[in-house]
Chain A
Amino acid sequence: MNTRLPHGSIPILSSEKIDVRYVAKLARIALTDDEVERFGTQLADLLTHVDALAQLDIASVSATAQVIESRNVLRDDLPRPGLDRDVVLAQAPASQGGFFRVPRIIAVKGEAS
């Protein structure tokens, strides 16, 4: 069956030069120019390593969607006590009137449901 995927799919990684700045931006990591250079080389090495898979005959190997062996670890729909709000908010850098207070959100929310 044809299952269309939600948008935001991962581009197929190849040995092409990886855009370290873009990856860093997605992960909200600030990198110096030196780091961009260094990690770029390291990531390229990693991808080359992964590319070695292309040399193998994997016709007899079924696709692995998950490496965890267990299945159907579920719980019944029963309530359990949570955390006290005062305890929770005490961990936050800022709170107000029972809410977490966070810096102003500038960008319009993307795909959050």
Chain B
Amino acid sequence: MSGTTGAAAAGYEAVIGIECHVELKTQTKMFCGCLNEFGGEPNTKVCPVCLGLPGALPVPNLRAIEHMIRSGLAFEAAIPAFSKFDRKNYFYPDMPKDYQISQYDMPLTQGGVVRYWLEDGTIKECRLVRIHLEEDTGKSTHAGSGDGRIAGSAYSLVDFNRAGVPLMECVSEPDIRSAEEAVAFLEALKRTFVQLGVSDVKMEEGSLRCDANVSIRPIGAHELGTKTEIKNMNSFRSVQRAIDSEIARQVALVTSGGRVIQETRGWDEVHATTHSMRSKEEAHDYRYFPDPDLPPLEVSENTVGWLRVELPESVIRRFTRYTGEYGLNVQQATQLIDNPSLAEYFDACVALSENPAQSVNFVLGDLSRLANETGVAIYASPVVPKHVAELIALLDGKTINSKIAKDLLERMWSGGGSPKAIVEREGLAQTSDPGAVAKFVDQVLAANGDAVAQYRAGKTNVLGFLVGQVMKASGGKADPALVQTMMTQRLA
């Protein structure tokens, strides 16, 4: 039973807000020209700026700022005309300046809403508080304890390759009500960021990291309960499990007379439970102040206008177009959206064929299979959308049947070109002439006396076999529907 289901049974609902950090995809870091690349030998992508050496001056990366504005616009956020960078002060060895450049009260984007869908196709909304820009920290490894954990480690090893990588922090309102919704919300963020090309959004490489604020309240209540902040969730699956586990913990606590205390809890994948991470009780006091090294940002309406015009169709609009206008199911729509080049190919096929149902069958069916078998992407194959549309027209016009269509696709894949030309050249057009089909039917009936006798004795499932024989005899060209009708009539 999921945490939410259990909570509902006990009369509670969960209230969840997400904070996630997303590394921006740029060539270089946020404030210096060092490469922004995952991995590599430690401390090989560093300079005086990202090492926090005295006197080094940061200069913001224009591309990262554009990424931020586009991300905000994709979620209908407001882009204020004035924005600035602030210093967030705290000490940690993976942050060489002893402050992190971030944005405090004037972030680049404010508000906005993320629309996402659940597996059953239900569309949900989660408002955003803000998306702000900051720099990533370095990475520390805790050595000497044998398992890389802090506890028991003798010293720490620090790599600053990641220090200064542009990072956007997205903070949601507490509009999410279940672990399933939280994952669907994150998937929607991911799809949009990938589509915009602003991030790779790979949780396994740490380019997406997320925390969840979880509380429960009696169903129908409006006030928020005391929340806990869940950290250490390293995959979408662990987000789901961690939130479910935390909801269940809070419900068990409250229904047995206890109360939730505000704290940070770490998700433990191995034991499938959250545990308190309290190690210091002092309140956070980051003493934010405007960074005197960084002039403020002014974003003109003109710039925002251009970036808005250039935005691609939003992910949720594409979803509603696919499921609403085109009648695709949720799984088909999701599969296409998660593969933007496939979605574009599909759109091109639909534009030319005006037949979304058949287009999706080919794109997600035979063409995807051929792509898997040959290791060539569909859009890079010799099969162009125009030929797919021709193939669909041949099918729709009953010039060919689906079996021939399948064969044609294989030949188109290996460079056969226009299916219409192949059909004409090789006489593959379907035989719908009753006289010709009747000849094949009679042949097959004559040659399969046993099957006919079985059919008449009540074993009607031999009909499939007989139809198959006719198709074979006709070289696959007979109209299967006509064969079926004729055969049934003859056998009656």
Contact = CB atoms under 8 A, between A and B. Distances in A.
A10 to B, nearest CB: 6
Given A1-B78, A100-B158, A74 B59 contact: yes
Given A70-B295, A74-B65, A82 B89 contact: no
Contacts of A8: 88, 284-288
A94 B87 CA distance: 28
Nearest to A25: B282
Interface string A1-29: 10111111110000000000000001010
Contact of B284 (A75, A78, A111): A111
Nearest to B27: A77
Contacts of A36: none
A99 B43 contact: yes
A109 to B, nearest CB: 6
A8 B283 CA distance: 8
Interface in B217-237: none
A71 B296 contact: yes
Contacts of A3: 105-107, 110, 129-130
Contact of B296 (A6, A65, A113): A65
Contacts of B21: 113
B156 to A, nearest CB: 5
Interface string B29-60: 00011110000011111111011000000011
Given A3-B107, A70-B295, A88 B156 contact: no
Interface residues of A, number: 51
Nearest to A71: B298
Contact of A65 (B132, B150, B277, B290): B290
B209 A113 contact: yes
A92 B159 CA distance: 13
A102 interface: yes
Given A80-B33, A99-B141, A68 B296 contact: yes
A78 B93 CA distance: 28
Contacts of B48: 83
A9 to B, nearest CB: 7
Residue in A28, A77, A106 whose Cβ sees the most chain B Cβ within 10 Å: A77
B60 A74 contact: yes
Contacts of A107: 279-280
Contacts of B107: 3
A89 interface: yes
Given A77-B27, A82-B34, A101 B153 contact: no
Contact of B91 (A5, A6, A28, A85): A28
A105 B34 contact: no
B160 interface: yes
B33 A88 contact: no
B133 to A, nearest CB: 11
B142 interface: yes
Contacts of A108: 150, 277, 279-280
A102 B156 contact: yes
24 contacts: A6-B171, A6-B288, A8-B284, A10-B288, A65-B105, A65-B296, A72-B297, A77-B28, A80-B32, A83-B51, A85-B41, A89-B43, A98-B44, A101-B155, A101-B156, A101-B157, A101-B158, A102-B156, A105-B150, A105-B153, A108-B150, A108-B277, A110-B90, A113-B167
Given A85-B43, A98-B44, 19 more contacts: A4-B171, A8-B287, A8-B288, A10-B287, A65-B84, A65-B105, A65-B106, A65-B296, A66-B290, A69-B295, A77-B61, A77-B64, A80-B34, A81-B47, A82-B32, A101-B156, A102-B93, A104-B155, A113-B167
